[in-house]
Amino acid sequence: MRQPLLSQKSGPLSGRIAAPGDKSISHRALILGALSMGTSRIVGLLQADDVMATAAALVQLGAKVGNERHEWFVTGRGVGGLMAPEAALDFGNSGTGARLMMGAVAGHEMTATFTGDESLKQRPMGRVLQPLELMGLNVVEARETLPLTLIGTDDLIPIEYRLPVPSAQVKSAILLAGILAPGQTTVIEPEPSRDHTERMLEYLGAKVVIGERDGQRAVTVEGDAELVARDIMVPGDPSSAAFFAAGALLSPGSDILIENVLANPTRTGFYQCLAEMGGDIVFEGEHEASGEPVADIRVRSSELHGITVPAARAPSMIDEYPCLAVLAAFARGETRMEGLGELRVKESDRLASIADGLTACGVEASIDGDALVVVGMDQVPGGATVATNMDHRIAMAFLTLGIGAEQPVTVDDARMIATSFPDFPDLMAKLGADLRPGNAGAE
């Protein structure tokens, strides 16, 4: 049964809040923990469906995973030590879990079937399989979507690979296979994508070299690596914090502090946009935790104006476009976001989901090739039911829009929010937003 959720105009947002653990780092902490010798203690792991699916898959592959409240423990099997699973590995909604684990499985002599939910089964896997096949992975039946059966090998070939699309997931899958191959494996990126895998590999003892090939970033890992378990602190997720920041900016009189947020420059493109739009946003108390930069983010409501977001910035804010697009509806003038082709293959076709949702809410939004154009308004009408298309970020973005719209906004199904941010409704309400169950008849 669908669970519609409604969001309506509230007073200002205020207070201090901690964003949930970063999803990308949480997946990596579990996977690299399972490939380490010893027991890793992970503090601040994101407890959401996507990450739990990865944890369950790792247990099927022989790792031990458990928790005492918010502290998680992974007892690994060492690089190359995973065991063949007895049943299919189900990654639910998570592209990150599925794609990274394909890299981890590639270097083990085993057969494993990967599957997921209806959204994940639509998403392209060829981009990961192609380089892994060059390294020696076998794919049973020539398919490019889940369910897929893969045959790994303990005799991988190291490769040098230039990514055809900027994708941290593809890069990470190759690096996770690379630590099992003899010699050096190099990934060359057209645009730098999030670098958590390389940072964490180095933190756990692998040899990683960041260099350049023809002006592009090149990451090299040394194969036959040994990883040694260490404590991993997971900072707050800037992609989840984005909704708090947007809500505070668009709701007059707001003043919030989001604590302990990952401030890695490969992830902060959204916050750069907010500053360029005239947002009052300050990073405070920057420090490092487990090899990653972290900061508190202070946000006060602001008069915003539209900007052009260049395509080169897309990888550093790829998951934040739904949030930026709804915020752009409240900014003076036009916001043009370029180079968004990858949004078509996310949890939904996000370009279409965003444009349709904004149009339903009375906002002028259009798709121009790979660009999205949103025209801001003094008063955003709202008053619509938005189709979330099984996409958690579409649901959260339009609930954020409802905070400032003239009429309430309903999202047709809020269940997918649990994949990345189960506490979103409660934490938004804690800041002062007015969220309540929607009309079950909403379509």
Residues making contact with ligand S3P (CB under 6 A): 24, 96, 167-169, 172, 193-194, 318-319, 342
Give the integer Cα–Cα distance in Å for 432 and 117: 34
**Which position has the token pair 């994101």?**
46
Active-site residue, selected from the candidate residues 319, 391, 412, 413 = 319
Nearer residue to ligand S3P within complex by CB, 10 or 23: 23
Nearer residue to ligand S3P within complex by CB, 77 or 392: 392
- Rg for the chain, CA atoms, rounded: 21
Nearer residue to ligand S3P within complex by CB, 96 or 388: 96
For residue 65, the minimal CB distance to ligand S3P (Å) is: 19
Amino acid at 18: A
**Tokens matching residue 329:** 């509806």
For residue 10, the minimal CB distance to ligand S3P (Å) is: 28
**Is the peptide bond between 85 and the residue preceding it cis, with omega within 30 degrees of 0?**
no
Nearer residue to ligand S3P within complex by CB, 315 or 432: 315
Nearer residue to ligand S3P within complex by CB, 62 or 124: 124
For residue 166, the minimal CB distance to ligand S3P (Å) is: 7
Angle between helices 269-276 and 321-328 (to 10 degrees): 10
Instruction: List, in order, residues 6 or more apart from 131 with CB less than 8 Å away.
Output: 159, 161, 170, 173, 174
For residue 347, the minimal CB distance to ligand S3P (Å) is: 8
The reply to whether 413 belongs to the active site is no
First to last CA, the chain: 12
Question: Which residues face 256 on adjacent strands?
Answer: 15, 299
Q: Which residue is nearest to ligand S3P (CB)?
A: 24
**Tokens matching residue 273:** 């946009």
Q: Could you give the angle at the alpha carbon of 26 between the alpha carbons of 21 and 31, nearest 5°? A: 170
Of 151, 102, 166, which is closest to residue 131 (Cα–Cα)?
102
For residue 405, the minimal CB distance to ligand S3P (Å) is: 26
Helix (H, G, I), strand (E, B) or coil at 326: helix
Helix (H, G, I), strand (E, B) or coil at 112: strand
Looking at residue 342, what DSSP letter applies? G
Nearer residue to ligand S3P within complex by CB, 77 or 346: 346
- Relative to beta strand 14-18, strand 255-262 is parallel
Amino acid at 72: W
Amino acid at 159: I
Q: 386: left (phi > 0), else alpha (psi -120 to 50), else beta?
A: beta
Nearer residue to ligand S3P within complex by CB, 97 or 402: 97
For residue 134, the minimal CB distance to ligand S3P (Å) is: 19
For residue 21, the minimal CB distance to ligand S3P (Å) is: 13
For residue 169, the minimal CB distance to ligand S3P (Å) is: 4
CB of 38 closer than 8 Å to CB of 78: no
- Relative to beta strand 232-233, strand 39-43 is parallel
Q: Could you give the angle at the alpha carbon of 346 between the alpha carbons of 384 and 268, nearest 5°? A: 90
Nearer residue to ligand S3P within complex by CB, 8 or 186: 186
Amino acid at 401: L
Angle between helices 95-106 and 168-178 (to 10 degrees): 20
Q: Which residues are catalytic?
A: 319
